[in-house]
Structure 1
Amino acid sequence: MSASLGEPVPDFTAPATGDTPVTLSELKGKQVVVYFYPKASTPGCTTEGGDFRDRKAAFDAANTVILGISRDGIRAQENFKARQGFNFTLISDKDEALCRLFDVIKLKKLYGKEHLGIERSTFLIDADGKLAHEWRGVKVKGHVEEVLDAAQALHAG
């Protein structure tokens, strides 16, 4: 089962930073940005997380929660969050349940070798729990502004 545009996103509960699991249904009434990144503490992921961190007040004003997700363990996520001063929740998806739900595991090439990894992707869920927007194969530069614009437009109705 995977998330499709315009459809309700299946509920999930996942281990998150701050020792508090995140349950999607408990966020109903708020918009939710779910962004997947390949690996904690790598350059592109650090830049992307920093862009979300620096615009969190604007996301808050648009009634939007930010959730960052990778396959890193909870300890790596806690360290990444602390080192970068992230002011939003990071989720550990070691079993790839959320990666499968949002279909973000893709065949990638690194130094000529193929491997399965997370394709940098972002999803915007509306206040009713429906998938409103998706961005796949994301390039970091300018991406968070685009997501923020969509969140603000959705919030404004």
Structure 2
Amino acid sequence: MSVSIGQPVPDFTALATGDTSVTLSEIKGRQVVIFFYPKASTPGCTTEGGDFRDRLEEFEAANTVVLGASRDGIRAQENFKAKQAFNFPLISDKEETLCRLFDVIKLKKMYGKEHLGIERSTFLIDSEGKLAHEWRGVKVKGHAQEVLERAQALNKSTGDTE
């Protein structure tokens, strides 16, 4: 089963950096951005994470939590977060539970060989826990700004203000 626009996202708990876990139902009342990236500490993922990091205050002003997720182990995620000074949790999804829920594992080609990997994708969940928007096959440049603008518009339309 995977999520679809307008439908409630099933509750989940995932292992995150800082010796914590993230549970969707505990964030209810706030919007949630989850961006999936292929691999920690690679150039595109570093740029994408930095773009979200640099806009975090604006996301928070729009009542929005930002989470990054990949199949990397927790140690790799901790190192990535520390090295890049990310100010949001990174989720370690080694078992691919979230990846399957959001259907981001795709057949990819690299150097002529096929393998299964994460398709760079981002999801915006509204304050009621429903999937409001999705971006698949993301190109990094300008993406975090586009997600921010969508989160701000959604926050205004639902009347969530702090």
How does the TM-score come out when normalised to structure 2? 0.96
Match of 1:10 in 2: 10
**Runs of at least 4 residues of structure 1 off by over 4 A?**
none
Match of 1:127 in 2: 127
Aligned residue type for 2:77: Q
SS state of the match for residue 18, structure 2? helix
Aligned residue type for 1:7: Q
Q: Which runs of 5+ in 2 are unaligned?
A: 158-162
Question: What is the distance in 2 between the residues matched to 1:132 and 1:18?
Answer: 28
Question: What is the distance in 1 between the residues matched to 2:143 and 2:16?
Answer: 24
Q: How does 1:63-82 map onto structure 2 within 5 Å?
A: 63-82=63-82
Q: Which runs of 5+ in 1 are unaligned?
A: none
Q: How does 1:7-156 map onto structure 2 within 5 Å?
A: 7-156=7-156
The Cα offsets for residues 43-97 of structure 1, whole Å up to 9 and x where unpaired, read as: 0000000000000000000000000000000000000000000000000000000
What RMSD over aligned residues (CA atoms) do the two structures have, in Å?
0.4
How does the TM-score come out when normalised to structure 1? 0.99
SS state of the match for residue 129, structure 1? coil
Provide the identity percentage. Answer: 81
- Deviation, structure 1 residue 155: 0.3
SS state of the match for residue 127, structure 2? coil
The Cα offsets for residues 78-121 of structure 1, whole Å up to 9 and x where unpaired, read as: 00000000000000000000000000000000011110000000
Aligned residue type for 2:110: L
